[in-house]
Amino acid sequence: MQLPRYHPIVPFVLFGGIVLLFTSLDFLVNSTLYHFGLVFDNAWFGPYSWIYLFMYQFAILLLWLPNRDMRFMIFGQAFFWSATQDLVYFMLWQGYMPAANQDWWWSNYRLVFGSWTTPLQITISTIGCTLAVTAILLMTVRGYRPPKCACG
C-alpha cells in the first residue's frame, strides 16, 4: 500500500496542531490538576516525560513518512530538542514567561548544565530553530527534492 503524498507545508501545519495539543495537556496538568491536589513527584513526572518524548518523536515520524522530506524532519527535531514547546506553553497557555532568574527545574538541560533559566531557554530555542530554518532554506535554494516514495 502506497502512502499518499501531500503538499510539503502540510506536516508543518499538522505539527503546529500537535504542539498546541501537547502544550495544552501540560497546561491542564499545571493549571488544573495541581489545584485538585496533584503534588509533583519524580515517580510520575519521569514516566510522563518519557511518554511526552516518545509521542513527539512518533508524531514527527508519522508526519515525515508520507513525503520523506528531510526539511520537516530537521525542523521537527530542532523544535523538539531545543525544547521550544516550553516557550509555546508559557507564551500561549500561561500568558507569561518565568522570571529570568527562575531555575527551570523540570528541564532536562538542568541535568546537563546544573541550572537552566528562561534566558538560556530562549537562547537555545532561538539558535536551534534558526539553524533549522537556515538549513531548510539552503536545501530549498539548492533544489532539494524529497525522494520518490518507495513505500508501495
User: In the chain, how many domains are there?
Assistant: 1
Domain of residue 70, residue span:
10-141
> Residue 123 falls within a domain, yes or no?
yes
DSSP 116: -
Among candidates 148, 131, 135, 146, which has minimal Cα distance to 8?
Answer: 146
* Tens of each residue's pLDDT in the chain, 152 residues: 566 677 778 888 999 999 999 999 989 888 888 889 888 888 988 898 899 999 999 999 988 888 888 999 999 999 999 999 999 999 999 999 999 999 998 888 998 999 999 999 999 999 999 999 999 999 999 998 887 765 54
Q: Is 146 inside any structural domain?
A: no
pTM: 0.80
